[in-house]
Structure 1
């Protein structure tokens, strides 16, 4: 520490437009910059969409990737030696494992890790490497109670904390004009029932189930539209499955401006931590139909702000979407969602994270008995 300021490195796999990455940007806008000097490092060079926004927030981003790709841990080691951080806050298990190994030994940076997902989502080698190094963490933050319950080899005391994050939608458009603009941007009919979803096109998000459910919905609502925001390895397969009324919108930087044009938000995920996209939708006053997985039941009550359905069940998902074809029900659930979203507090989440930092740093400076 220099002059009382703490040098912190946030370490991520990528800085694309995924939910975990967006949390970094949301949190840095509310960080105590008088106390913490924050920098970011990331592994995947092609996932750099948020680098300009971080730069605008005054945060330097270090890309560890590049040819040859396997050398990124060596670049991380050099960065740690050069910048001499007091604390490294890791996100995602693979870079976290590298940081734990590279900071081992006396005088190394303190380690805080945020767990965004359930462990069973990780590949077996990743789970093993994670388990073998996990106790090197000085503290772990879980994004939901469901994620916390899945953290292996927990220690007693305050080692594990749950911090519900939130979206940062200050200044996002709303109201009838925003609805018209969003529908015009996407080429959607002004009066059609529109279901929207945001997520990478991957097996975890299971948009295949959503497409099957939407096909059933179209049987009773022939003018309905489904908007899928995101990209990923399953895009070609999902496009081949999609029927009429489905719009693949790709990766978008303007999701908050698109939300007012939708009637219902939907996630068909098989696994989740606590998705930022759901919290953004609720903050925008959208009712949601999502699967009962991960932390989603912690922020959405079935039948109040939307509907919770089993994962991998197109019939249940279609039935819930069909219920929300009723404008009156959508209005009531949307109002309840907006009210519930008042508890989402990204500034409060960052303050909670900084309390973890303070505790870890205080422990490091406490004399041994």
Structure 2
């Protein structure tokens, strides 16, 4: 009986949980670039938006049932993942975020070249004994990662200060310039928000409705903005565990868009985009907003300064958890249209030059080559893929 020839392509296995938001977009972008470079790409993840996107891009998708946070099901999740790894037989494992990083490294234990990408440190997301346990794991688990890829130098520095002895690479996040681009505010807004007056100042916050993203701080700051900018509207784009709590606190000037299939029109419709996070590695939302030509206000967490152009006015970056400073920054920008326009142009130029997703894919490919050597020597992000991003 004739046996098919073995697949000579290097095999990369991405493991991830969560399956939505920025992590899902990063994994999808990497999978698309790596497939274009001729790699065999598998994505192991729970059901959700990522599975559909990865499958559409041409990746082999394996179902991995796993909860978002560690818990009593962890042992079963690691066993399930070990079976996937045994079946896929990857040349390299790339684990994304804390949960997949935990399960993936426990399943592999360094036997296969392993890349861990935290996408923000787990020990910053929790407090008390849970934070101590998460930190202890990251310190011990670093031995089973051949490379720790951070999305910002600040994220790497946080890991070093925490005593994590990693073999580090810093690969900033990137966006697709062909997808995130400016558009006429009036046209887009009329389609999205027909009941909102066209001249009403509009602030958008795009992100999962959860403690990390700080929408509760934003709602605390918002009444002060409306007092100084009458008629202003705030739209929260996304869904998450704090949705109901935030709705009960929100005044009529706050709109909830919910989870949307395409966030681009919401950036394009906004006069200002704000992300008041409590912690990040390097958030995608500000990069996407700037690519759409919109000014941003961010909290000064890991990755924020590195995502912004140099020499911005001070009210573009405020301390986390400070509603008064956040309100002041939003107000100043809403009252100064020429400054907003200038910052929008400056931000777009910066993102196109330093945060193009092609740069991200090429930098990750360089990490893979260092770990796999000759197995990847002939595989690079092809010119056709690079050009297709801009087509």
Same fold (TM over 0.5): yes
**1:14 corresponds to which of 14, 18, 41:** 18
Q: Partner residue of 2:226?
A: 218
Alignment of 1:349-368 (within 5 A): 349-362=360-373
Q: Partner residue of 1:60?
A: 60
Question: Which whole-Å CA distance do the structure 1 matches of 2:192 and 2:259 have between them?
Answer: 14
Q: Partner residue of 2:287?
A: 279
Contact between 1:154 and 1:160, CA under 8 Å: does it hold in 2? no
Go from structure 1 to structure 2 and tell me whether the alpha carbon gap of 1:268 and 1:278 turns closer, same or farther (over 3 Å shift): same
Contact between 1:113 and 1:139, CA under 8 Å: does it hold in 2? yes
Say if 2:308 is the partner of 1:303. no
Q: Partner residue of 2:239?
A: 231
Answer with 82-91 or 25-34: which moved more: 25-34
Pairwise CA distance, 1:3: 5.8
Runs of 4+ in 1 over 6 A off after TM superposition: none
Pairwise CA distance, 1:179: 4.0
Pairwise CA distance, 1:310: 1.0
Answer with 57-66 or 273-282: which moved more: 57-66
Alignment of 1:65-214 (within 5 A): 65=65, 71-104=76-109, 108-122=111-125, 123-124=130-131, 125-152=133-160, 153=163, 155=165, 159-172=167-180, 174-176=182-184, 179-187=186-194, 188-214=196-222
Go from structure 1 to structure 2 and tell me whether the alpha carbon gap of 1:306 and 1:182 turns closer, same or farther (over 3 Å shift): farther
Question: Which whole-Å CA distance do the structure 1 matches of 2:41 and 2:328 have between them?
Answer: 47
> CA deviation digits over 1:144-168, x for unaligned, max 9?
0111012245558xx2111112112
Q: Partner residue of 1:323?
A: 332
> CA deviation digits over 1:153-212, x for unaligned, max 9?
5558xx211111211241456432x64234422333211100001111111211111112
Question: Which whole-Å CA distance do the structure 2 matches of 1:310 and 1:201 have between them?
Answer: 20
Structure (1/2) with the larger helix percentage: 2
Go from structure 1 to structure 2 and tell me whether the alpha carbon gap of 1:76 and 1:118 turns closer, same or farther (over 3 Å shift): closer
Go from structure 1 to structure 2 and tell me whether the alpha carbon gap of 1:315 and 1:183 turns closer, same or farther (over 3 Å shift): farther
Question: Which whole-Å CA distance do the structure 2 matches of 1:306 and 1:363 have between them?
Answer: 49
Contact between 1:119 and 1:150, CA under 8 Å: does it hold in 2? no
Q: Partner residue of 1:256?
A: 264
Question: Which whole-Å CA distance do the structure 2 matches of 1:31 and 1:307 have between them?
Answer: 35
Q: Partner residue of 2:344?
A: 334
Contact between 1:145 and 1:295, CA under 8 Å: does it hold in 2? yes
Question: Which whole-Å CA distance do the structure 2 matches of 1:181 and 1:33 have between them?
Answer: 33
Q: Partner residue of 2:357?
A: 346
Question: Which whole-Å CA distance do the structure 2 matches of 1:183 and 1:114 have between them?
Answer: 40
Answer with 342-351 or 26-35: which moved more: 26-35
Count how many residue pairs are aligned between Structure 1 and Structure 2: 356
Question: Which whole-Å CA distance do the structure 2 matches of 1:264 and 1:275 have between them?
Answer: 16
2:369 alignment partner, SS class: helix
1:50 alignment partner, SS class: helix
> CA deviation digits over 1:326-351, x for unaligned, max 9?
11111111111111112212111111
1:164 alignment partner, SS class: coil
Pairwise CA distance, 1:66: 7.2
Go from structure 1 to structure 2 and tell me whether the alpha carbon gap of 1:101 and 1:120 turns closer, same or farther (over 3 Å shift): closer
Pairwise CA distance, 1:52: 2.1
Contact between 1:209 and 1:314, CA under 8 Å: does it hold in 2? yes
Say if 2:15 is the partner of 1:5. no
Structure 2 unaligned regions, length at least 5: 1-5, 377-391
Question: Which whole-Å CA distance do the structure 2 matches of 1:179 and 1:77 have between them?
Answer: 52
Answer with 2-11 or 350-359: which moved more: 2-11
Go from structure 1 to structure 2 and tell me whether the alpha carbon gap of 1:3 and 1:244 turns closer, same or farther (over 3 Å shift): closer
> CA deviation digits over 1:292-324, x for unaligned, max 9?
111101122463596111111111111111111
